[in-house]
Amino acid sequence: MKKSRGPLAGVKIVELGGVGPVPFCCMLLSDLGADIIRIDRPPGYDGGAPVDPRFNLLNRGRRSAAMDLKNNAAVGAVLDLVRRADVLVEGFRPGVAEKLGIGPDDCLAANPALVYGRMTGWGQDGPLAQSAGHDANYISLTGVLHAIGAKDGPPTLPLNLVGDFGGGSLYLALGVVSALLESRLSGRGQVIDAAMVDGSASLMALFYGLHAAGYWRDERGTNRLDSGAPWYHVYESSDGRWLSVACNETRFWRNTLRLLGLSESDMPDQHDRTRWPEIQERFAAVFRTRTRDEWCALAEGEDACWAPVLSLTEAPQHKHLVARGTFTEVDGVVQPAPAPRFSRTPGAIQGPPDAPGQHTDDVLGDWGFTAEQLAALRAAGAIT
């Protein structure tokens, strides 16, 4: 595997394999240069249908070792890896890692400088800590889901971006990097409790502040950033496609009116909430007179804050994203490139996704396990 020159090059991480938020967090850390060994369940362990690993992009850039963590020899091997690592990341329910013998106390005893990252939905404590849940549940509890959607309509699920990835993965990644910085100064490790409810609540800081000030209504689809304002909205074009319009500031509002052929003197005041439905209707009627691409061509070079609503097929082909290299292709699969950008130590995708256990011997060998140790682990049923 090609070594990355990213800002986290040289950082060694043990990832206890899972789904969703933990893999995405570790994908980001890998893209930034960290050397990560992913510990997966042995193939076929859960009876799931096989999936081509090429398309499991959240697993990109890490090599996988298959271990049975209910096997004492495997637990010993994980602790050996911990002694060589800077970070361990896990996403079990609270208490599971402790039962396996690889909880924080076990791992910090093996490596006192270890950063131990924990990812859960509800957190390590609290009345719901042991309850099952998913992204939609976490953003429901924190007020996020209630705020997203059209007026008089149901809440709209924003994929699983806010709870799993925004409130979970990104906050855990920030926690890992922050704890690593502190550990380099103190020589001591610590535990990160990254809960998706905490992270998704944090993402709502702006809106809780606006609500407390009386500026944000606790009714979705009636505010300036939730599709309530006609100048922060999406409009359908004559070909059934859509454009986003976000002309918040006065100069952008005036440019939008000019492009739409509307006179400011004939329009209600931009900030008169009572007239927003009327403005929206007028905008919608005009946008339906041209195709999406015709509107985009008209707005080319104009400061109006418009953009086409592109599909997953269209987005990688947009000239701006092509120019920046926002998307890339690895092993025939188009996918987002590493972000953010670094001027001196750029990140890179370190390799395509591996199948569980694809490189057990190679990656354990690279982390210092001898051929004799690997043979003993295999004889004990700890690895496959």
Burial of 200 (0-12, 13-18, 19+ CB in 10 A): buried
**What's the domain count of the chain?**
2
Is there a domain that residue 212 lies in? no
Active site residue 303: no
What's the CATH code of the domain at 333?
A: 3.40.50.10540
| 182 and 78 fall within a common domain | yes
Residue 225 lies in a domain: no
Same domain, 295 and 340: no
Is residue 60 domain-shared with residue 190, that is, in the same domain?
A: yes
Note if 362 is an active site residue.
Answer: no
| Of 105, 134, 239, 366, catalytic | 134
Block means of pLDDT (10 residues each) for the chain, 384 residues, are 79 94 98 97 62 90 96 97 98 97 98 98 97 97 97 96 98 98 97 98 98 96 96 98 97 97 95 96 98 97 96 98 97 96 96 93 96 96 92
Q: Using CA atoms, how far apart are residues 155 and 178, in angstroms rounded to an integer?
A: 34
32 and 151 fall within a common domain:
yes
Instruction: Kindly name the residue from 164, 198, 226, 354 that is annotated as catalytic.
Output: 164
Within a domain: residue 250? yes
Name 235's bridge partners.
Answer: 243
- Contact predicate 352/330, CB 8 Å: yes
* Residue 351 phi, psi (nearest 5): 160, 165
Residues 56, 61, 62, CA angle at the centre, nearest 5°?
Answer: 90
> Does residue 210 lie in a domain region?
no
129 occurs within a structural domain: yes
> Where does a domain end: 263, 296, 317?
317
Q: Let me know whether 140 and 184 are in one domain.
A: yes
**pLDDT of amino acid 47:** 45
Angle between helix 276-287 and helix 250-260 axes, rounded to 10 deg = 40
Tell me the two tokens of residue 236.
């359908």
* Same domain membership, residue 245 and residue 101: no
pLDDT recorded at residue 49 = 47
Domain boundary among 266, 295, 317: 317
- pLDDT reported for residue 46: 52
pTM, full prediction: 0.94
The answer to whether position 50 is within a domain reads yes
Give the residue numbers spanning the domain of 24: 12-203+327-379
From 269, 286, 317, give the residue that closes a domain.
Answer: 317
Mark whether 248 and 138 lie in a shared domain.
Answer: no
Do 258 and 126 have their domain in common? no
